[in-house]
Amino acid sequence: MAHTTSARSSDPPDDSVPAREQVYRRNFGFFFADAVLFTVAMGIIGPTTVIPDFVRRLTDSEILIGLAGNVFPVGFALPQLFIARHIVRHERKKWWFVGPNIPVRFVILLFALVLLWRGKSEPHLVLAVFFACYWIAALGDGLVGVPWALLAGSSLDNRWRARVFGLSSMTTGIVMLLVAPVIGLILSPAGPGFPDNYALLFAASGTIFALSIVPGLFFRELPGGRAVEKTPSFAVFIPEIGRLLKEDVPFRSFITIRVLTGLFLMAAPYYVGYGTVVLGLSSEVAVPVLLAMQTIGTVSGALFYSWIGARSNLRYIRIALCAVALLPVSALIAGVAGPAPLYGGFLLSGLATSNLNYGYLNWLVGYAGDERRATYVGLANTITAVVSLIAPFIAGTIVQSLGYEPLFVVVLSMVAGALFIAFRYLEPGAAETPNRTAG
């Protein structure tokens, strides 16, 4: 198989810095295209805008609505520790990324057809099929999450990774700014009506997901960590994870920040519902306007991340967490002053959260090094998934029992905790490797 052969035909002619720089530059275009296509596809069915609004048309369960907004990050992260344990046996990682992509990135397109076929007559069946398809798509992306991070770690250096993340986020934001009015028109009374309007959005998203298979075929893989002879047993693997968490203070602090991030993001699917249910906005106004404001913030934040992320991911993380805190604050103010502060909050949220995961990933990939990268990435994402799986039930219960405002107060306290740890326990000198050229 391509990823186990000892021949290294995809390596540069030598291991010199100029040769690696040439490969980094070539890979940049394909990583950039992969990121843009995938993120645009996700943006069209907005996990915090379109999807919660779609699910609200099929059920009034706040827990299911909240779960819909968290299915993808949960499904994406859950299998990663399992993959990390097995991938260490293989020196080559590219086909661990490309292979699962081919079937699973057609799943959203398949759901669009089901929605057209049964959307009007069997809404409960459609809801079940939606969760099944969305879960399969998420798990499929989770299977490739660790290989993608390993490829990004070995075949791009910190500078080029930051450029990929920042510029792809900016490009995606510009595309979504152009798409947002079209989404608004499709969801408006002038559009095709339910469920055809949402089927059209899922079909567009699914088509772009399918196209996103192509760039990964052209990644040029550089050697990373050495392959081990056999998959480590759980009796060895689990204690090793415990030792890492005990001894590695920056990594343990990073994990805690990711857990708190999963908890403060549990409110994300409810801001649109807050706008439509409490503030009285219509879906055709709330969804595209909030999506546009979030996208404008994403573009601005991407430019900022492209500049500062290549110098210090930790500094960006700290600034972004400060901006994140302003979204629940703006929602609370909107309850008194009207929807305008909520729009401003989504602007700041786009600036912060849309690029925050890029900052997290680049920090971790640079910090872990080749030999432990798979374990560190898999562990961080799996722990995050467990929290994200629990979070919708917490958030939905709070909303159903107490209302939206108490939820916003709870998540604000989570942001405060993450900020404290980011400033107190993460040290840029120990955590970042800005001058590494070996990935």
For residue 56, give the H/E element and its range.
helix 50-56
pLDDT > 90? residue 226: no
What is the amino acid identity at position 52?
Answer: P
**The two structure tokens encoding residue 367:** 């910090």
User: How confident is the prediction for the chain on average, in pLDDT?
Assistant: 79
Residue 37 has pLDDT above 90, yes or no: yes
Amino acid sitting at position 306: S
Q: Is 106 helix (H, G, I), strand (E, B) or coil?
A: coil
**90 secondary structure, DSSP code:** -
Rounded CA-CA distance 236/69 in Å is: 36
Average pLDDT over residues 200-228: 85
Query: In terms of CATH, what superfamily is 19-431?
Result: MFS general substrate transporter like domains (1.20.1250.20)
3-class SS letters over 283-336: HHHHHHHHHHHHHHHHHHHHHHHHHHCCCCHHHHHHHHHHHHCHHHHHHHHHHH
Is the confidence at residue 211, as pLDDT, over 80?
A: yes
Q: Would the pLDDT of 41 be above 90?
A: yes
- The per-residue pLDDT for 257 is 92
- Structure-block tokens of residue 73: 């990050």
- The two structure tokens encoding residue 242: 């415990």
Query: 104: left (phi > 0), else alpha (psi -120 to 50), else beta?
Result: alpha
- Model confidence at 346, pLDDT cuts 50, 70, 90, reads confident
Banded model confidence at residue 17, pLDDT cuts 50, 70, 90: low
Describe the chain by its helix, strand, coil percentages, rounded to 5. Answer: 80, 0, 20
Looking at residues 148-169, what average pLDDT do you find?
A: 81
Letter for the amino acid at 347? L
DSSP 210-275: HHTHHHHTT--PPP-SPPPSSPPPHHHHHHHHHHHHHH-HHHHHHHHHHHHHHHHGGGTTHHHHII
Range ranked top by mean pLDDT from 79-83, 265-269, 271-275, 417-421: 417-421
Residue count (the chain):
439
Closest CA to 237 of 34, 361, 89, 354: 89
Judged by average pLDDT, the poorest of 19-28, 82-91, 325-334 is: 82-91
Q: Is pLDDT at 298 greater than 80 in this prediction?
A: no
- Is 57 a residue whose pLDDT tops 80? yes
Say whether the peptide bond before residue 239 is cis (omega within 30 degrees of 0): no
Identify the top-confidence range among 22-36, 138-152, 254-268, 274-288. Answer: 22-36
Give the confidence band of 46 by pLDDT, cuts at 50, 70, 90: confident
| Paired tokens of 89 | 């046996």
- Write the Ramachandran bin of 270: left for phi over 0, alpha for psi from -120 to 50, otherwise beta: alpha
Domain ranges of the chain: 19-431
Please state the rounded mean pLDDT for residues 422-435: 61
Task: Check whether 5 has a pLDDT greater than 50.
Answer: no
Query: According to the model, what pLDDT value does residue 428 have?
Result: 62
CB 317 within 8 A of CB 360: yes
Q: pLDDT band at 204, cuts 50/70/90?
A: very high
Q: Which residue has the tokens 């052209």?
A: 218
pLDDT above 60: residue 406: yes
Is the whole model's pTM more than 0.75, yes or no? no
